[in-house]
Chains A and B, each alone.
Chain A
């Protein structure tokens, strides 16, 4: 023969000498195993794409959900960082009879006297109806209320003016107002200089605020200076809400004494809260939704896995002749099992990789639309991919074992 086969030659010599070499099936190289697994995939592309799609949708959902929840969380953290979490508010509550309790006029001064407090300021409810002009009947409320505000309120809240100016030492005595962002919208005020009516008084809008993230209620009010409120709107000078900031480490200590400080003897009537907690709570409610979406993704992944298993079972059925041939040319049961297991793994890995890419892309797209910084945690991609491989093995195991158990002659005679 023109192709000497040393192995066989050795076998024959050993055989003629009376003892045969021990037969041992050769091991397939990893490259050969991968190529074997890919053979079945290349032959049935449409089916491969469709069954990988199931897995891809599941993984994409999970990666997107985790990515978006992380992106929104990191956005919230950045916002909290910017706004500070050390702001506390004290609100006038109600007494046992349900009557509104007033905070003492000296409340701000008393809070300032608490050691660590850096900043203390206040707003007060003012009983003055707001209209766009005197043509609007008094009964038709614009959904905007009046509040008196101290000039240092803006600094304490880290809030900013969008247009015009904030109240200052001079104009807090004058009939001028600064509108919250929503209030300006409701009143149809677009720029400073326009006038609105408070009770029967025309006041000039000198500024419009940007949305106040920590205290969104301020978006819906028109603010006037304390002195002006007393002078023009019969305001009694009692604050209704105190704002206070102290260094982060002392927030809890300050919180403990705050109610007692502002209304000694009736601390039950003062409600102390931390506005940043409301933002954090929003993140917590998002968590429930995230879990739900993750569950949906897991279901999609499971269905995808069933699809892969189905594809593999059909693949084994259709390829019985191939299995028979492979057994005839020397494939062990192990080799057959490995071939179909690899095929299933490749199939779901294909879906998993596609899903991870799609999920990351969706996260980036959505985050961009929301103005967030996109965060795709590597662990979510890694976990998704691992889940894929796990599903690949699980989905491929039964078909692969079935393939390996086919009797060679039965497989060869299959039609």
Chain B
């Protein structure tokens, strides 16, 4: 078997048969419908390989938030299969999904979601709370993660004493502390001014360069444009999957053939 021509294939030497690394995210024919005939996702297929940095971009109501929830295993699809870090999400219990999130997925939210009364180290250490890590190690790793997002000088500051950009960096450190396979960032710059937003995006690039798989959900074309791969959503469907190195605009036909390629790769 050869590597499937997925747009986000990591530019490395061909991997020997049978030792191909598992994609971090694998969605196949995923639909999500709500009562009353609302279809948030209509047969979406997507593969994210380890080490990718991609944007899921689309206007509000395009289904990208539902994508975030489905990829993040916070919500189950109505039909189709979702694999995260190799696990078939549909076959896991709620408790197992929690364990999956605690070990393999890191979330970054638009409004940071930091605990107001607790300092940066405590906020970041909380990200490891449900992973079975001792308190001492949680705090040590939290400090290291804060150093990584260049907030080593703000360890004992509370959210109220931090700027918006710094708060988002604390949130990124929290997502990062568990060394997740996938960092899911939901509008990470949405609540920030341009300068702070740039710093945060720079940081995400940096983390990706160091090996973290990063998926940014955004409505901002400019943000999306700065990322190597852009998956464009409209009305619950992927309308384009645009790798930076690929010059041509992918057609709907290519989209449709995507699941087949995935199937053949297994």
Contact = CB atoms under 8 A, between A and B. Distances in A.
A329 B74 contact: no
Interface in B133-151: 133-135, 141, 144-145, 148
Contact of A25 (B95, B115, B134): B95
Contact of B113 (A27, A42, A321, A408): A321
B1 interface: no
Chain A interface residue bracket vs B: 35 or more
Contact of B116 (A2, A8, A43): A43
A264 B174 CA distance: 99
Most-contacted residue by chain A among B86, B129, B131, B148 (CB, 10 A): B129
Contact of B99 (A16, A26, A28, A322): A26
Contacts of B113: 321-322, 324-325
Nearest 5 pairs of A and B residues by beta carbon: A330-B102, A26-B132, A330-B130, A5-B179, A15-B86
Contact of B141 (A3, A26, A31, A43): A3
A23 B100 contact: yes
Given A15-B86, A43-B117, A332 B130 contact: yes
A328 interface: yes
Contacts of B115: 39, 43, 322
A335 B100 CA distance: 15
Contacts of B22: 12, 15-16
Max chain A Cβ within 10 angstroms of own Cβ: one of B74, B105, B135, B145:
B74
Nearest to B96: A23
B98 A32 contact: no
A8 B96 contact: no
B98 A3 contact: no
A23 B105 CA distance: 14
Interface in B87-120: 87, 92, 94-96, 98-105, 107, 109, 113, 115-118
Contacts of A8: 103-104, 179-181
Given A2-B144, A31-B135, A11 B85 contact: yes
A327 interface: yes
Given A32-B129, A43-B116, A332 B85 contact: no
Interface in B217-243: none
A220 interface: no
Given A16-B19, A16-B22, A23-B92, A329 B181 contact: no
B157 interface: no
A36 B135 CA distance: 12
B126 A329 contact: yes
A381 B177 CA distance: 45
B165 interface: no
B125 to A, nearest CB: 10
A28 B95 CA distance: 13
Contacts of B133: 26
